[in-house]
Amino acid sequence: MAVTTASGHASEGDFDRVLVVDFGAQYAQLIARRVREARVFSEIVPRDITAAEVAAKHPVGIILSGGPASVYADDAYDLDPEILSLGVPILGICYGHQILAKTLGGTVSNTGKSEFGGTELTVLDDGSALFVGQPSEQQVWMSHNDAVSEAPQGFTVTASTPDAPVAAMENVDAGFFGVQFHPEVAHTDHGQRILEEFLWHVCHARPTWTHVGIIEQSVEAIQDAVGDGTAICGLSGGVDSSVAAAIVHKAIGDQLTCVFVDHGLMRKGEGEQVEDTFRNHFHMNLIHVKAEDRFLDALAGVTDPEEKRKIIGETFIRVFEEVAEGIEGARFLVQGTLYPDVIESGTKDAAKIKSHHNVGGLPDDIQFELIEPLRDLFKDEVRAVGEELGLPDEIVWRQPFPGPGLAVRIIGDITRERLDILRDADAIVLDELRKAGLEREIWQSFGVLPAIRSVGVQGDGRTYAYPLIIRAVTSDDAMTADWARIPYDVLAKISSRVINEVPGINRVAYDVSSKPPATIEWE
């Protein structure tokens, strides 16, 4: 578990570590998740990592991800060959399988035959380290044009498909393994077991990446980082900041002061709920800063979503700095940054999608050292940690809510009128989904208010009012999402209530876009 400071240094817990080398695959994050499901800590690292950098991380195993290119393309991604001399077990997947074969002297060919989707795999050696005790015929998920046609010297071919003669290979003595298919996807019948064989029996990784272990290591790292100092936490009441606050409070107790900045961009009733929960139920030091006017003044006339995020992020920090002046020794700032926030804010092989307020939206001259105890976690892991910490269900299972709040759910200029309209409409959306028993099934649901008006008829009169767009998606980790198939009768109830109960809205639409190509939020 990392405690990241503003200078970029991190303090890591004592977990066995498996590195996932990202060659630009759409599944790199999924590989990391599957490793964690085997209770082993995974860390995604860039494709140009050097052998020295790998050695400094002391991994017990390395997984080479898939990638979109051919290993023989002019701009093909290469692996530092010295990594193969470190004595660390390596599993190559898809492109990683091919780059491993090519680097070690095998042959990768474009046979003119591609395999995409479900494919029948024949296991040639059921005593293989990866396939031990598994069926000789099994369904796997393929996605490739090139294929390994000849394994490197010293390797045994352990599985094949009609169009991939070396669908799996291994050199047990060297600790090198490769599979052309994707064991990390659910469509591969025994994929998780294959990964577990590599992790547990080849790498001998200890399965200690548990919720209890995460908390224990995080608490220790926070105590070491903070010492006798004082930390403040930007508390929004959402699951991320709440779990972050709970971990830090467990670590340093009254050395933590939670600061709830009410920027006027919250959902209906949230300000009161946050204060009641953390001041009265968890007995944390809480400062409630009512700063709606300040934020709205700063956002007046701003329509660009990136500019909105940056303004809100900077204003947050300035408010924190002012509050911190009255808190002796407050030089640490706790944030609920998650791993998807870091990925979406831009990495070498993941394009910048948006500036997260905790990542790309922070000013360069920030005066705090950051503590981000959730930075390595996906949302489902955060929820599990929250339950382990004893947080109530209404906090743990609360839907994700962006740090910039309703500012990124109003498309266009932000005004008090539009905020009030969206708050009332959004509350109806959540209420009806809750009544329909869909709250746990849906990852995120909310209303979006475009700053446009359209003609309608209500009663005997003509109206000129806003539309409300309903957004509801299903997802496991927010990296990908699909639009939720809400029953028509539920949508009808939402539409009827919004139009009848919220002055200023005369039309309701439903967003049926997936991520990708769309994002979950509209801005």
Please give the positions annotated as active site.
Answer: 94, 182, 184
Q: How far is residue 52's CA from residue 55's CA, in Å, rounded to a whole number?
A: 5
Phi, psi of 49 (to 5 degrees): -60, 140
Question: With contact defined as beta carbons under 8 Å apart, do 32 and 20 qualify?
Answer: yes
Can you list the pairs that 338-342 forms with residues at least 24 positions away whose Cβ atoms lie under 8 Å? 338/240, 338/374, 338/375, 338/377, 338/378, 338/379, 338/382, 339/29, 339/375, 339/376, 339/377, 339/378, 340/29, 340/378, 340/379, 340/477, 340/478, 340/479, 342/375
- What would you measure as the largest C-alpha separation in the chain, in angstroms? 84
111-141: b or e for each residue (b if 16 or more CB lie within 10 Å)?
eeeebeeebebebebeebbbbeebeeebebb
Q: CA torsion sign, 245 to 246 to 249 to 254?
A: positive
Question: With contact defined as beta carbons under 8 Å apart, do 323 and 232 qualify?
Answer: yes
Q: CA torsion sign, 246 to 250 to 252 to 257?
A: positive
**3-state SS assignment for residue 371:** strand
Q: How far is residue 437's CA from residue 456's CA, in Å, rounded to a whole number?
A: 32
* DSSP 8-class letter at 278: I
504 φ/ψ sector (left φ>0, alpha ψ -120 to 50, else beta) = left
Q: At what angle do helices 292-299 and 305-324 cross, to 10 degrees?
A: 150
User: Which tokens in the block code for residue 56?
Assistant: 């400094």
Tell me which amino acid residue 124 is.
Answer: L
Of the candidates 77, 60, 62, the residue with the CA atom closest to the CA atom of residue 178: 62
